[in-house]
Amino acid sequence: MSHSLLKNRWIVWALVLLMTLIWGYAWVFMKASLNFMGPFTFSAFRFGTGAATLLIAVWLLKAAKPPRNMWKHLIVVGLLQTTIVFTFVMYGMQFVDAGKSSVLLYSMPLWSSIFAVKLLGEKITTGKALGLMVGMLGLVTILGWDIFFVQNPGVIFGELLIIVAAVSWAAANVYYRLKLEGMTQLQVSAYQMLFGTIGIVIAAMLAEWGDPVLLTSESISYILFTGVLASALCFTVWFLLLSVIDMISATLSTLLVPVFGLFFGWLILGEELTNSILIGSAMIIAGIGIAQVFGKGKALGNRLEAKLPANH
């Protein structure tokens, strides 16, 4: 399958488009879910659903259980990749718009690249570095002057939480490269999500025990969309993409997620779509294009290939 995809690059980018569209749309549901339950409770439902879906897939495919010496590493990745990222993101979204939240979380490619250079001794091609820089400038343009001038303390707190989540996601990528690279991606994703979900459930019980939970047809549809499609299905697509394109190209492609998140936030939630958002989105798309057109030049070092998928 991977070999055939290499011969059909349009299929690869069609899958990228599908994945980023679903992840972008998921931000609307994540924000809307706060009307029905607490942020940690929703995350517990979402990733419980996603973990169950992936574990069923593992069972159907008769995949072996991870070696005993890998369990502790799976727990660490689960805490970094699922527990910290989504408790912080969902809590921060109480103060920050859905579209802007997605922009902040997708600062991850910058942190991931920094960690890879510092901790793994890896570098990227000049073209991909330029594409990453343009894309990150696009994110800063979307955020506008909010990040430079004093604003509502609650908004600042929410934004900082989401930035910490982005750093945790990047750290999970590097930890995977150091400790879990020999395992199959399906094993890693299924079991790290299981352990990460346990962490989220504990957080929900400590912070939101007794809080109202409204399970309606609408809120259940949010859980199913984000759990089955945005988590389990998109992870399967992500595994496939990582088998045919390098991590930098894959990571850069995820910069499309905040573009779609901002668009859907405007279309469905009525969030403001400013000129800075439009210009920044164009810069992100340009950055991805630059990386693809000029990213095959001479490498400055080894290729970054941390293969842990994102949970969006």
285-304, pLDDT tens digit by residue?
888 778 767 766 555 444 44
Q: At what angle do helices 108-120 and 126-143 cross, to 10 degrees?
A: 140
pLDDT band at 222 (very low <50, low <70, confident <90, very high): very high
Residue pair 232/178 in contact by the 8 Å Cβ criterion: no
pLDDT at 310 (0 to 100): 52
Q: What is the pLDDT of residue 297?
A: 55
Closest CA to 101 of 133, 51, 59, 139: 139
pLDDT at 303: 41
The model's pTM is: 0.81
pLDDT, average across residues 163-188: 84
Q: How confident is the model at residue 4 (pLDDT cuts 50, 70, 90)?
A: low
For the residues 150-159, what does the mean pLDDT come to?
78
Q: How far is CA 192 from the centre of its chain?
A: 14
Over residues 69-118, the pLDDT tens digits come to 899 999 999 999 899 999 999 899 888 887 778 888 888 877 877 787 77
Dihedral of the alpha carbons of 277, 156, 40, 225, in degrees to the nearest 10: 0
pLDDT at 307 over 50: no
What is the amino acid identity at position 248?
I
- Measured CA distances, 102 to 15, 162, 167 (Å): 20, 9, 14
